Structure 1
Amino acid sequence: MPTTTILNPISRRSLLGGLAASSALAVLHPFSVLAATNQAHLRIMETTDLHVHVFPYDYYADKPNDTLGLGRTASIIDTIRAEATNTILVDNGDFLQGNPMGDYIAYKRGMKEGDTHPIISAMNVLGYDCGTLGNHEFNYGLDFMFNVLNGANFPVVCANLTKGALAADPRQDALFLKPYVIIDREVKDGAGQAHAIRVGLIGFVPPQIMTWDAKNLEGKANARDIVKAAAAWVPQMREEGADIVIALSHSGIGQQAYTENLENASVPLAALDGIDAIVTGHSHLDFPGPKFAGLRGVDNAKGLISGKPGVMGGFWGSHLGLIDLLLEREAGVWRVVDSTSEARPIYRREEKKVIAEVGDKPEVLAAAQKDHEATLAYIRTPVGKTSAPLYSYFALVADDPSVQIVSQAQTWYIRDMLKDTEHKDLPVLSAAAPFKAGGRGGADYYTDVPAGDIAIKNVADLYLYPNTVQAVVVTGEQVRNWLEMSAGIFNQIPPGAVDAALINGDFPSYNFDVIDGVTYQIDLSQPAKFDKDGNLVNPEANRIRDLLFDGKAIDPAQKFVVATNNYRAGGGGHFPEIAADKVVFVAPDTNRDVIVRYIVEQGTINPSADTNWKFAPLKNTSVVFDTSPKARPFLTQVKAIAIEEAGDGVEGFARFRIRL
Structure 2
Amino acid sequence: MSLRFCRPAALFSAVLLAACASHPSQPAAQPKALPEGLRADVAVLETTDIHSNILSYDYYKQKADPTLGFERTVTLIRKARSQFTNSLLFDAGDTIQGSVLADYQAQVQKIGCGQELAIYKAMDAIGYDGGTIGNHEFNYGLPYLSQVTNTPMNVDGGSQQHCAGPHYPLVLANVDSVRDGKPIFQPWTIIERKFAAFTPDGSQLSVPLKIAIIGFAPPPIMQWDKQNLAGKVTVTGVVEAAQKYMPEIQAQHPDLVIAILHGGMNNAPYTPDMENGGWYLAGVPGIDVLLMGHEHTDFPGPRFAHMQDVDDERGYVRGVPAVMGGFFGKDLGVIRLALVRQQGHWTVDKSKTLSQVWPICPPVVSRGKPSVSPANCVPADPQIPLVVGKVQQAAIDYVNTPIGQSQLRMSSYFADEGDMSALAPVNAAQIDYTQRELPATHPELAKVPVLGSAAAFRTGFGGPDDYTDVLPGPLTLRSAADLYFYPNTLSAVKLDGKGLKAWLEQSAQRFNRIDPNATGEQQLINEKYVGYNFDQIQGGIAYVIDVSKPAGQRIVKLSYHGKPVQPAQSFVVVTNNYRASGGGHFPGLDGNNIVLAAPDGTREIVAQWLQKHPSLDSKDVPAASWHFARLKTHGPVVFTSAGDKQAVAQGDGLHNITQLRDNGDGTAVYSIDLSH
Query: Normalized against structure 2, the TM-score is what?
Result: 0.87
Tell me the equivalent position of 1:23: none
1:121-163 Cα deviation digits (max 9, x unpaired): 1111111010110001111111111211122111111001111
Structure 1 pair 194/256, CA: closer, same or farther in 2 (3 Å)? farther
Tell me the equivalent position of 2:648: 634
- Give the SS at the match of 1:273: coil
CA distance in 2, matches of 1:477, 1:355: 52
1:398 and 1:641 in contact (8 A); partners too:
no
1:290-334 Cα deviation digits (max 9, x unpaired): 222212232101211121111111101100100111111123211
CA distance in 1, matches of 2:363, 2:644: 17
CA distance in 2, matches of 1:136, 1:431: 22
**Alignment partner of 1:447 out of 441, 446, 468:** 468
Tell me the equivalent position of 1:76: 76
CA distance in 2, matches of 1:409, 1:253: 37
Tell me the equivalent position of 1:22: none
- Give the SS at the match of 2:395: helix
Tell me the equivalent position of 2:379: 359
Structure 1 pair 457/507, CA: closer, same or farther in 2 (3 Å)? same
CA distance in 2, matches of 1:256, 1:230: 19
**Alignment partner of 2:437 out of 417, 441, 445:** 417
Structure 1 pair 426/256, CA: closer, same or farther in 2 (3 Å)? closer
The offset of 1:343, in angstroms, is 0.7
Structure 1 pair 640/448, CA: closer, same or farther in 2 (3 Å)? closer
* Paired residue type of 1:522: I
CA distance in 1, matches of 2:654, 2:208: 69
Tell me the equivalent position of 1:207: 219
Counterparts of 1:524-539 in structure 2, within 5 Å, are 524-529=547-552
Structure 1 pair 602/45, CA: closer, same or farther in 2 (3 Å)? same
CA distance in 2, matches of 1:525, 1:196: 63
Structure 1 runs of 4+ aligned residues shifted over 4 Å read none
The offset of 1:606, in angstroms, is 2.5
CA distance in 2, matches of 1:159, 1:650: 45
1:231 and 1:272 in contact (8 A); partners too:
yes
**Alignment partner of 1:253 out of 265, 283, 305:** 265
- Give the SS at the match of 2:279: helix
CA distance in 2, matches of 1:547, 1:478: 12
- Give the SS at the match of 1:323: strand
Tell me the equivalent position of 2:523: 501
Tell me the equivalent position of 1:266: 278
Q: Which moved more, 1:46-55 or 1:289-298?
A: 289-298
Counterparts of 1:510-529 in structure 2, within 5 Å, are 510-517=532-539, 518-529=541-552
Residue 41 in 1 paired to residue 49 in 2? Answer: no
Structure 1 pair 108/144, CA: closer, same or farther in 2 (3 Å)? same
Tell me the equivalent position of 1:230: 242
The offset of 1:238, in angstroms, is 1.3
2:175 and 2:184 in contact (8 A); partners too:
yes
- Give the SS at the match of 2:415: coil
1:111 and 1:147 in contact (8 A); partners too:
no
CA distance in 2, matches of 1:62, 1:424: 42
1:169-191 Cα deviation digits (max 9, x unpaired): xxxx4011111111112222223
Residue 611 in 1 paired to residue 624 in 2? Answer: yes
Residue 644 in 1 paired to residue 652 in 2? Answer: no
CA distance in 1, matches of 2:65, 2:308: 35
The offset of 1:349, in angstroms, is 4.0
* Paired residue type of 2:193: R
2:237 and 2:271 in contact (8 A); partners too:
no
Residue 406 in 1 paired to residue 426 in 2? Answer: yes
Counterparts of 1:111-510 in structure 2, within 5 Å, are 111-150=111-150, 151-164=165-178, 173-190=181-198, 191-255=203-267, 257-338=269-350, 339-350=353-364, 351=366, 353-420=373-440, 421-439=443-461, 441-498=462-519, 499-510=521-532
CA distance in 1, matches of 2:192, 2:257: 12
The offset of 1:649, in angstroms, is 4.2
Counterparts of 1:13-52 in structure 2, within 5 Å, are 38-52=38-52
- Give the SS at the match of 1:406: helix
* Paired residue type of 1:204: F
Tell me the equivalent position of 1:11: none
The offset of 1:60, in angstroms, is 1.4
CA distance in 2, matches of 1:549, 1:76: 55
**Alignment partner of 1:577 out of 588, 591, 609:** 588
Tell me the equivalent position of 1:18: none
Tell me the equivalent position of 2:19: none
The offset of 1:36, in angstroms, is 9.5
1:49 and 1:314 in contact (8 A); partners too:
yes
Tell me the equivalent position of 2:88: 88
1:479-535 Cα deviation digits (max 9, x unpaired): 000000000010011123343110000101010000112101111111112xxxxxx
2:132 and 2:172 in contact (8 A); partners too:
yes
Query: Normalized against structure 1, the TM-score is what?
Result: 0.89
1:89 and 1:130 in contact (8 A); partners too:
yes
CA distance in 2, matches of 1:650, 1:629: 9
1:349 and 1:355 in contact (8 A); partners too:
no
- Give the SS at the match of 1:484: helix
- Give the SS at the match of 1:309: strand
The offset of 1:260, in angstroms, is 2.0
CA distance in 2, matches of 1:558, 1:332: 71
Identity among equivalent pairs (%)? 39
Q: Which moved more, 1:92-101 or 1:211-220?
A: 211-220
1:36 and 1:189 in contact (8 A); partners too:
no
Q: Which moved more, 1:551-560 or 1:614-623?
A: 614-623
1:410 and 1:595 in contact (8 A); partners too:
yes
- Give the SS at the match of 2:505: helix
CA distance in 2, matches of 1:628, 1:232: 48
- Give the SS at the match of 1:222: strand
Q: Which moved more, 1:208-217 or 1:186-195?
A: 186-195
CA distance in 1, matches of 2:325, 2:197: 27
1:225-272 Cα deviation digits (max 9, x unpaired): 111001111232111111110110000122254222210000110111
* Paired residue type of 1:551: G
